[in-house]
Amino acid sequence: MTKYFYIILFFVTASYSQDFSLISKAEKIIDSENPDFVKAEKLLARAKNDDYGFCANVKRSALSEIEYLTARIYYLKSDYKKSLAILDSGETWENQKEIRFIKGNVFV
């Protein structure tokens, strides 16, 4: 009986993966000493189309993180108007405050 439980558990967790690996890779590229913005933007575009499982909060968090990183890219490129437009639009900024606070990071 427990064998079937673990098999079902495996398939459930595998099918509803909440994989933020593309977002993490893009963030590492942005934070590097010589960031490759083109590569980071491509990763974020792919991450925007990823499936984050059935939980709407996870999808919202992922999209918020993508928008935040996109704004950081524009800021680092000195395109302040685009960066501010992203940060001022929708709930991106508020979601990031919540995410960073929950993770225990200082939000700057």
Q: What is the pLDDT of residues 9-46, one digit of tens each?
A: 555 554 444 578 889 899 999 999 999 999 999 999 99
Domain count across the chain:
1
Contact 27, 69 (CB under 8 A): yes
DSSP state of 32: S
Interval 88-96 mean pLDDT: 63
> Is 108 part of a structural domain of the chain?
no
Where do we find the tokens 């935040």?
68
Task: Please indicate, yes or no, if residue 4 is contained in any of the structural domains.
Answer: no
Q: How far apart are the first and last CA of the chain?
A: 51
The mean pLDDT of 65-88, rounded to a whole number, is 89
Q: Which domain holds residue 93?
A: 20-103
Tell me what the pLDDT averaged over the chain comes to: 76
9 belongs to a structural domain:
no
- Give the span between the Cα atoms of 66 and 18, in whole angstroms: 14
d(C-alpha 100, C-alpha 106), whole Å: 7
pTM of the model: 0.68
